[in-house]
Amino acid sequence: MNTLLKKFGIYFCCIFILLFFLFPSFVQAEDSEISTYSPACLLMEASTGKVIYEKNAHTRMYPASTTKIMTAILVLENGNLTDTVTVSENAVLSIPNGYSTAQLQIGEQFTVEQLLYALMLPSANDAAVALAEYIAGSVDSFAAMMNTKAVEIGCQDTHFVNPNGVHDENHYSTAYDLALMGQYAMENSTFRSIVSTAQFSLPATNQHPTADRTFHNTNSLLSSSLSSNGYNYYYYPYCTGIKTGYTDSAKSCIVASAKKDDLEFIVVVLGGETLESGLSGRYLDCKTLFDYGFNNYSFHTILEKSSVVDQIEIMNGTEETRNLGLIAENNLTVFAKNDVDFESLTPTISITNTSAPISKSSVVGTISYTVEGETFSTNLLAASNVEVSRVMENVLKVVIAIFLIFLAILILTPKKEKTKKKRK
């Protein structure tokens, strides 16, 4: 019998260990719905910052030209679009061979806005240096500003040494940090307009007499007709930006955005490569993640503004006003997966004011719902005025009067008895 129990225990342990290694994480079941090619990916809802898919999102990697998102942020916040920038010798000659440029010439003059288009569409590294020198006087000083701004935005694993993403061992970021930069930048309407533009031309100058420098956006998600056969396999109709990148060390990178109705997502893909099929893993991952977000997530209103949530009795209120309705101060709208059972949600109500007088529309408590581990709350307002009842006040007055009379009797009675004794 003991031998049989031992054998059963050994078999049970073996089965448990096998299952553990075959199914290492039940928490990540949601991730099994998505298959991505690239080593680091992230899908974030833009307005809330909620991350709904991530793979190695906090691993430090080379960002390549997605760096230029931060460059554009600083230029837009510290510069003037109509200012004139003169292209320096350093801006032209410091760019290594093989890196993209806008063919800027030493001494050429452009507006800040024109250089921003050159920066973000063809990913011009010379434009990045020209803008950095315009804002900070030097590339080193501008890089310091970039790092300060990154921390301000909330990045924890980012360090910049240049404004364009030219490879450097000390120039790195993460998918999560780049998503924060993209989210922040897309709140700027000028930035949003630039990164959604498919084509742009630089004007003729004294150094370049023709306006033949026409550039297409490097983001193939934006255009439906970029290929030689008139069709772009990577076109995504809801795409709104943002920035691609590539170096031999970083591989193919992108920070992309897409908006459909009231829902906007940001996708970051780092370290992407060309697949055996010849297709770009970077763009396929973007389309997969965007489709997953739009098909499975939405904004859901679980409580509408001014709706009556509950009714309570205010004990010291008048009979006519003591029954007080509680109404929601604001809509409670949550971003969550479509298969959440919202009908079964149970709110938590906390009342903070239960004593009259209470004024209509004053805050009397809060109501909270917990959805997918997040808590959403709004104030509860009084639906009407609650007046103080005078009944209890009058009863109290009568009780006090009776008590005072009784006390007076007790005090006066002994004096009368003493007087009688003295007379005797």
Q: Which of 123, 196, 252, 389 is catalytic?
A: 123
Alpha-helix residue ranges (DSSP H) falling in 89-138: 89-93, 112-120, 125-136
Alpha-helix residue ranges (DSSP H) falling in 200-349: 281-296
Count the Cβ atoms, other than its own, within 10 Å of residue 375. Answer: 10
Q: In sequence order, what are the residues at sequence separation of 6 or more whose Cβ sits closer than 8 angstroms to the Cβ of residue 135? A: 74, 75, 78, 79, 142, 145
Q: Which of 38, 55, 68, 196 is catalytic?
A: 68
Q: Which of 7, 35, 38, 65 is catalytic?
A: 65
Sign of the four-CA dihedral 76, 223, 166, 255: positive
Q: Is 88 a catalytic residue?
A: no
Helix (H) or strand (E) holding 224: none
CA distance 323 to 166: 69
CA distance 172 to 202: 31
Q: Is 389 a catalytic residue?
A: no
Helix (H) or strand (E) holding 185: helix 175-185
CA distance 60 to 40: 10
Q: Is 257 a catalytic residue?
A: no
Burial status of residue 100 (CB atoms within 10 A of its CB: 0-12, 13-18, 19 or more): middle
**So which residues are the catalytic ones?**
65, 68, 123
